[in-house]
A and B are shown apart, each in its own frame.
Chain A
Amino acid sequence: MSDGPDESSDCVVSEAPSGCRWVRAAGTLSRNARDTLVLLPEGGEDQTPLVVSGSAALLWELLADPIMLSELAAELAAIYEVEASGIEVGLAPVLEGLHTAGAIERSP
């Protein structure tokens, strides 16, 4: 169980090693409302829920098991029938935001 971002939290997603895998932080609470995702990472009293729109619900499903950014992008690209490279560029800051908030962590 994570108490928030691990010691690699200063390693932003876009600079993480290419083999780095990401996974939901075990303590993160979540709900889906259509394609909107509501998350509450484990943390202090001041931590407020994050509301992530777009294809966030699907992204969260894929993050149930450790997965690399490139694999995530490929999965989403196949579903949405677009180029994976374009998705990867857009996905990196989303993962970065989730990581900073403590909602996801690097898989050991």
Chain B
Amino acid sequence: MNLASALPVTLEVPAATLLARRIAAYGLGGSDAQNAAGSLSGEPLDQGEWSVLLGTARHERIVGLLACAVADAALATTDDQAAEVHEAHVAALCGDLVRERELIRLVGLLRGSGLDHRVLKGAAVAHLDYPDPALRSFADVDLLVRAEEWDDAIQVLREAGWERQFAEPRPGFERRFVKGMVLTRPHDGGTELDLHRTLALGPFGLTVRLEDLWADCEVLRLGAVEVRALAAEERFLHACFHAVLGDRPPRLVPLRDIAQMSLRGNLDLDRVIRHARSWRAEAVLLRAVELAWETLGLDPAAEAATRVKSLSPPSKEIKALGAYLSPRRSYVGLCLAAVRVIRRPSDKARYVAALAFPKRDFVSPRYRGYASRWRVAARTLRVGRRPRAHRPSPTTPDER
């Protein structure tokens, strides 16, 4: 069948994307009509459309939800298509288990050195917020460590063979200012570790009250090991940060996470809003809920939606959010925006000095030298002042 004839297609959104959005919302409503056989598509897609849909589901990390919809016959498929999505799902689950094993080892490593941790994003959300972790796959391991233990954590990981992707611009910079660091073990497995100090790059990452992330936790059991995740409200806000301040455009999976947590009914919305206010991130919360509700077509009368949509974020926050949502978004732009939220003048000076005059080993992997780096920065700033149709974002450690 033709996808376009089965869906309310608009010129802006491809049909496969629309169907992927409905799959990303699959099972949320809980109504029989929504989950009924054929509710997503009563006829199998033709092979070309199916391939696009499966590719989209992989990219958006919703293969588990697609497999569930196929198993429930909400999405009609041929036998071959059903086998293909089952195979893709099993492959994704194999990857999830390998990453969970790595996570267990990493937590053991940190614990063994007396360092605290919180498991973030996929691994935590899959177990704590979804009815079945097989519905929520993830691509890397995300761990939060305390800012004051950042240097120790990096040291412990390096001794265990993990290599940081980039050097620190100046000593002490990371434990004060960065979102996090990607570490890999190039000679020993392909798992990527995203070690976090806070929840986002740029100004919104610096206004998060880090002590709130450590005040409470939820425990999840992976095999025989208990690991700690953020508490529900902090986990929800992190999903909001991820959806709004992360990839542009956002993947469907963080939007599903937002909806999943909102609609489970165990979220303390007062606490969520209180945190958002004290983190100066009401604009992020509001935009994330708007985006999830619009994209997934959720019930606008749901309590989470009505409560959050009644917020009126300060104009400063809306302006700061603009730096993330702009098509001209750049690492340099976010770094400059971050200066405004650093309160102490001495910290401002440290931050600017470290980025303006970093150590040579921070510069050399990416630029031919200081002069080359300055030229790129100047070009980025110049380009940032005038509108352009398309400009690729620079790859940076914090942009990950």
Contact = CB atoms under 8 A, between A and B. Distances in A.
Interface string B96-116: 111011000000000000000
Interface stretch (A13-21, A35-43, A62-70): A35-43
A20 B96 CA distance: 32
A39 B134 CA distance: 12
17 contacts: A1-B224, A26-B223, A27-B223, A28-B223, A29-B97, A29-B100, A30-B97, A31-B93, A33-B67, A33-B93, A34-B67, A40-B97, A40-B100, A40-B101, A42-B223, A45-B188, A49-B98
Contacts of B89: 33
Contact of A29 (B67, B101, B132): B101
Contacts of B132: 32
Contacts of A36: 86, 90
A38 B224 contact: no
Interface string A44-82: 010111010000000000000000000000000000000
Interface residues of B, number: 21
B167 interface: no
A30 B93 CA distance: 9
A29 B224 CA distance: 9
Contacts of B100: 29, 40
B94 A49 contact: yes
B71 interface: yes
A38 B71 contact: no
Interface of A: 1, 26-34, 36, 38-40, 42, 45, 47-49, 51
B44 interface: no
A82 to B, nearest CB: 24
Given A40-B97, A45-B189, A34 B71 contact: yes
Contact of B97 (A26, A31, A34, A45): A31
A33 B101 contact: no
B333 interface: no
Given A34-B67, A38-B90, A39-B97, 8 more contacts: A27-B225, A31-B93, A31-B97, A32-B132, A38-B94, A49-B93, A51-B90, A51-B94
Contacts of A29: 97, 100-101, 222-223
A47 B89 CA distance: 20
A39 to B, nearest CB: 8
B93 to A, nearest CB: 4
A31 B71 CA distance: 16
Contacts of B93: 31, 33, 38, 49
Contacts of B97: 29-31, 38-40, 49
A29 B189 CA distance: 18
B133 interface: yes
Contacts of A1: 224
A32 B134 contact: yes
A71 B67 CA distance: 32
Nearest to B103: A29
A49 B96 CA distance: 10
A32 B67 CA distance: 11
A42 B134 contact: no
Contacts of B96: 31
Interface string B212-249: 00000000001111000000000000000000000000
Interface string B117-146: 000000000000000111000000000000
A28 B96 CA distance: 13
A40 B101 CA distance: 8
B4 to A, nearest CB: 30
A86 to B, nearest CB: 27
Which has the most chain A C-beta neighbours within 10 Å: B89, B94, B225?
B94
B192 to A, nearest CB: 16
A32 B131 CA distance: 12
Contacts of B101: 29, 40, 47
